Amino acid sequence: MFYDGLKNDHGLPHDPLKQLVAPRPIGWISTCNVDGARNLAPYSYFNLVGDKPGIVMFSSVTRKHTLANIEATGEFVCNLATWDLREAVNRTSAPVAGEVDEFELASLTPAPSRMVAPPRVAESPVALECTSFQILDLPDGQGGEHPAKVCFGLVVGVHIDDRAIIDGRVDATILRPIARLGYMDYAVVETVFAMERPTR
């Protein structure tokens, strides 16, 4: 089948697009507002887009608390969403008021970060402390502006649970990250294979 990307006339009962770019990693993003109140929510329009230095991005499809906090403070932490934490990750996506601390809502432990003010999730085996350097508006495809914005962050601090480091390498089968597919579906990393790149 083929459909027009702007008309979105796929004719299927559910929009297939998110299932077509999958799996998408989940940035489980902790922030604070200007008064220091904590916020935590998952974002699967998320990825690492550069290294040395590490650069991450995520997209907020409307102006949510995470984006508002980053606009105000310039800081965030991307915690790794894992199989063991899947229920807590989902819980923190609830559309609750800005005053609600999702660490408390999901019975998670805030651990102090080293380089930024927002805490990391102590239960998560990986956390990337970030400072935001650009927030981009997105087009709506009709000459206007979409409510979505993409936030880019510089990775200024990296936490890794030592138990996930085996022979000097971080073992993905120990971390077991979860990722978003389309619909209400997720994937979990359980099988890993390696391939050498061609030299010419």
Nearest by Cα to 124 from 54, 27, 45: 27
Taking the complex as a whole, the smallest distance from the CB of residue 20 to ligand FMN amounts, in Å, to 16
Q: Which is nearer to ligand FMN, 54 or 182 (CB)?
A: 182
Cβ neighbours of 78 (radius 10 Å): 26
Taking the complex as a whole, the smallest distance from the CB of residue 127 to ligand FMN amounts, in Å, to 17
Range 52-61 burial, b when 16+ CB lie within 10 A, else e: eebbbbbbbe
Which residues here bind ligand FMN, judged by CB under 6 A? 26, 39, 41-45, 59-61, 64-66, 90, 93, 95, 180
Taking the complex as a whole, the smallest distance from the CB of residue 19 to ligand FMN amounts, in Å, to 14
CB 27 within 8 A of CB 57: no
Taking the complex as a whole, the smallest distance from the CB of residue 170 to ligand FMN amounts, in Å, to 22
Q: Which is nearer to ligand FMN, 22 or 122 (CB)?
A: 22
Q: Which is nearer to ligand FMN, 63 or 114 (CB)?
A: 63
Q: Which is nearer to ligand FMN, 4 or 113 (CB)?
A: 113
Backbone phi, psi, residue 115, to 5°: -110, -15
> Measured between alpha carbons, how far is residue 21 from residues 18, 47, 150, 188 in Å?
5, 12, 17, 15
